[in-house]
Structure 1
Amino acid sequence: MGRTTQPVLAGLVTALVGFASSFAIVLAGLRAVGADPRQAASGLLALCVAAGVTAIWLGLWRRMPISIAWSTPGAALLVSTGTVEGGFAAAVGAFVVCGLLIAITGLFAPLGRWIAAIPQPLAAAMLAGVLLELCVAPARALAEVPLMAVPVVLTWALLSRFAKAWAMPAALVVAVVAIALDGADGLDGAALAPVVEPTVPQWSLPAMVSIAFPLYLVTMASQNVPGMAVLAGYGYRPALPGILVGTGLGSAAAAPLGGHAVNLAAITAALAAGPDAHPDPGRRWIASVTAGATMIALGLGAGLATALVLASPPVLIEGVAGLALLGALGSAVTTAIADPTRREAAVVTFAVTASGVTIAGIGAAFWGLLAGAFMLLLHRRRPAGDESADREPAEVAVGAR
């Protein structure tokens, strides 16, 4: 009995942790690019259904624990980008293009190689710049709404030490209690029925450059690649092209309903692929299929989740989202500065991206990547023998003592 239910329970935990730890980031991102409350709720539902259906299909087809999630770094990118020319309809058009690019990557191998050719420090620095705004939100929440934020942050800090997988869900529960005690009048009229709000895509060059390309890049580099690494770590090596085609088409299908992108799960993938899901690796696919079904069920409550977010102080929800992204920020910063020869270019990428500037209607993520690439090209022809330029500041300081 225990062995039979073990992968089912692991799948339930996988979906609950994935949903609770980052749905606030998704809603914040959709609202930032112009979605109204109904469109945001519809987008969350669409993402849950797309991720769930794709996970069920891949799990049954490959008989492997292939967990699917929405692009959390992509949602953070939307927060930092803000509204583009054409509003939410233009953002939806960019979501469609992003999904098609992911699917094409699976069909067209050279495109995958081109993306892999983007220097990893620059891609990581761009992601770090995107995440920074949300990751400083917990500090702002502690200053602006301390009575609500302190219990949330303390809960997260304690459980991140003793039960890391439950740190974010527990912090969210504490946030819900704090919102209720504060008097969440916005929950009185919350819609319990699923919200489906189609948006006709519009095509705008600024939206393509500000949203579609950066969203595609961070989804590939920060979700699909690490997701494959997690699966490989547990002995699973599914064919990546089929996964990319499935998640890309799923993303494109969810876009007209407001969903931005789905992809391989990276953080929660271990919950379904690890030995805790089942001692027999051949039975762990049941966990990912169960997680997919649970995600669809959780999506039915997207309207209530949206009402909860709207009823709370914005800085509190941003703070909860920031706590969920601190680990991703740390990993991105570490990768960005690991190579001393590319560190300066990575820092430029990070600084420009984090600035949030919009030039010619195009967001900071694109300009940050462009500025970093320029710095790499500029320093590539450094005169031979000029070793002092490559010395680290700490080394120069030590030599001067």
Structure 2
Amino acid sequence: MSHGRQVSIAVPISAGVVCALVGFTSSFAVVLAGLRAVGADAHQAASGLLAVSVAMGVVGIVLSWRFRIPITAAWSTPGAALLVSTGAVSGGWPAAVGAFAVTGALIVVTGFWPGLADLVSRIPGPIAQAMLAGVLLPLCLAPVAALAHHPLVIAPVLLTWLALLRPAPRAAVPAAFGVALIVIAVSMVYQGHGVEVSAIIPQLTPTAPSLTVQALTGVAIPLYIVTMASQNIPGVAVMATFGYRVPWRASLMLTGVASVATAFAGGHTVNLAAISAALAAGPDADPDPHRRWVAAFTSGCVQVVLAMVSAGLVAVVLVAPDGVVQAVAGVALLGAFASAAAAALTDVDLRVGAAVAFVIAASGVAIAGVGSAFWALVAGLSVHLLTRGRAGGTTPGGSGPSGHAATAADEGRGAEQ
């Protein structure tokens, strides 16, 4: 089949560069905030960002090269937002690292055992999305509070994002991040602060993991569910819209193993890209769908390069004026919040359960040492089960992104046979 005039190989290569830059700069602040929230110090957070950046680059390179389709990998941005809302856990940073490793192991098991994906699919999509929306809400409110308290340093970041939101939406958050770096640099010069040379040298800081009940229930399980429901499953769906069938088992196996490996260096999760996947898999990457894998391969290579500057970015961001990082993280998550909130309210029969899940997740209240995300799922599902008979018997998992889990697994198995 002809795809028209063959375009230069530079087209998919440039698309891959853009894909990597957009994905990295749009969520760097969120991931850093998540690692810091669960107890990582500056060196441990820099190590985690280095490890997960290299891992997602390598995973994208391997999958795109092996299957010749534009599969891109990413860190879990919603998962990082979950970490922010969870905060410090019992056992501190080692317990968080142990929870990261458990999450990776669960992803590996999901690749081997489709029944686990089916179990995830039994969680009604609106309730899972309501939990995510509740987790994201406080982070999306942060720029408003920051603007009220520090208007001179926050306004340039938000105005840049707003100015580009309509003409160049994909560039809006990266540009806001760039302006934030300029604001930080000016502040450093004005206050006479500097960054030590040793702080910008990339290095891994291993952590011996531990396991606590609070870390497992408050971090590992919600992080696994959020990663599957908001990254892996939608990532497969995005690829399907462009005619690609993602090798489900191979993808989960590789991302899961990468997640376990990076956990010991502080990385939280590696998964299939969802939103940014379209940048490499869409027609803008190359009119010929058989050449778009080059964009994903290039994106992986650029991610590895960006990993080398992550330590320097961490060192700079950590001396930022109050509110600057929160402003960037907030605008970066607004789109995800809007999508999650909309999906949470689509099904009338599930609306009350979704609302319960939303308000509990947004409250940030920990009960018995377990974070609000876990209790949001428990309460949302409980309300749904109590009201299901009166509401008309909606099938769990029948709507929202989580409802695609079984289909994604089936398609993946079919592609590998």
* TM-score over 0.5 for the pair: yes
2:272 aligned residue = 264
Where 1:263 maps in the other structure, the secondary structure is strand
Q: Does 1:74 align with 2:66?
A: no
2:7/2:286 contact within 8 Å kept:
no
Which TM-score applies when normalising by structure 2?
Answer: 0.90
Distance 2:15 2:389 in 1: 53
1:189 aligned residue = 196
Distance 2:326 2:270 in 1: 21
2:138 aligned residue = 133
1:126/1:368 contact within 8 Å kept:
yes
Where 2:318 maps in the other structure, the secondary structure is helix
Partner amino acid for 2:148?
Answer: A
Partner amino acid for 1:74?
Answer: G
1:348/1:368 contact within 8 Å kept:
yes
Distance 2:237 2:389 in 1: 34
2:406 aligned residue = none
2:28 aligned residue = 23
Where 1:38 maps in the other structure, the secondary structure is helix
| Cα displacement (A) at 1:148 | 1.2
| Cα displacement (A) at 1:267 | 1.3
- Cα 1:221–1:61, aligned 2, differ >3 Å: closer, same or farther? same
| Cα displacement (A) at 1:2 | 6.0
Cα deviations by residue, 1:341-393 (Å, 9 ceiling, x for unpaired): 11111110011111111111110000111111111122134399xxxxxxxxx
Distance 1:155 1:219 in 2: 30
| Cα displacement (A) at 1:316 | 1.5
Partner amino acid for 2:377?
Answer: L
1:397 aligned residue = none
1:116 to 116, 121, 124: 121
| Cα displacement (A) at 1:226 | 1.1
| Cα displacement (A) at 1:23 | 0.6
5+ residue gaps, structure 1: 385-401
1:195/1:302 contact within 8 Å kept:
no
Distance 2:9 2:306 in 1: 23
| Cα displacement (A) at 1:195 | 2.2
Q: Does 1:52 align with 2:60?
A: no
Q: Does 1:33 align with 2:41?
A: no
Partner amino acid for 1:24?
Answer: A
Distance 1:321 1:178 in 2: 15
- 1:2-401 to structure 2, matched below 5 A, reads 3-183=8-188, 185-190=192-197, 191-382=199-390
Taking every aligned residue pair, what percent have the same amino acid on both sides?
53
Distance 2:207 2:89 in 1: 16
Partner amino acid for 1:11?
Answer: G
Distance 1:95 1:362 in 2: 16
Partner amino acid for 1:292?
Answer: G
Distance 2:139 2:373 in 1: 15
1:46/1:254 contact within 8 Å kept:
yes
1:345/1:372 contact within 8 Å kept:
yes
Cα deviations by residue, 1:74-116 (Å, 9 ceiling, x for unpaired): 0000000000000010000000000010111111011110101
Distance 1:187 1:24 in 2: 20
| Cα displacement (A) at 1:117 | 0.8
1:272/1:285 contact within 8 Å kept:
yes
Where 1:69 maps in the other structure, the secondary structure is strand
1:186/1:308 contact within 8 Å kept:
no
Cα deviations by residue, 1:199-241 (Å, 9 ceiling, x for unpaired): 0110111100000000000000001111111111111112212
Distance 1:83 1:215 in 2: 15
- Cα 1:146–1:283, aligned 2, differ >3 Å: closer, same or farther? same
| Cα displacement (A) at 1:188 | 2.6
| Cα displacement (A) at 1:183 | 2.4
2:38/2:93 contact within 8 Å kept:
yes
Partner amino acid for 1:315?
Answer: G
1:123/1:221 contact within 8 Å kept:
yes
2:128/2:377 contact within 8 Å kept:
yes
Cα deviations by residue, 1:118-168 (Å, 9 ceiling, x for unpaired): 011110000001111111011112111111111111111111100111111
Partner amino acid for 2:102?
Answer: V
| Cα displacement (A) at 1:49 | 0.8
Distance 2:275 2:150 in 1: 29
Which TM-score applies when normalising by structure 1?
Answer: 0.93
- Cα 1:381–1:6, aligned 2, differ >3 Å: closer, same or farther? closer
Distance 2:128 2:319 in 1: 35
Distance 1:70 1:178 in 2: 26
Runs of 4 or more, structure 1, over 3 Å off, are 184-187, 381-384
- Cα 1:186–1:27, aligned 2, differ >3 Å: closer, same or farther? farther
1:392 aligned residue = none
2:143/2:327 contact within 8 Å kept:
yes
| Cα displacement (A) at 1:301 | 1.0
5+ residue gaps, structure 2: 1-5, 393-417
Distance 1:314 1:54 in 2: 35
Aligned length: 384
- Cα 1:135–1:178, aligned 2, differ >3 Å: closer, same or farther? same
2:195/2:315 contact within 8 Å kept:
no
1:186/1:307 contact within 8 Å kept:
no
| Cα displacement (A) at 1:18 | 0.7
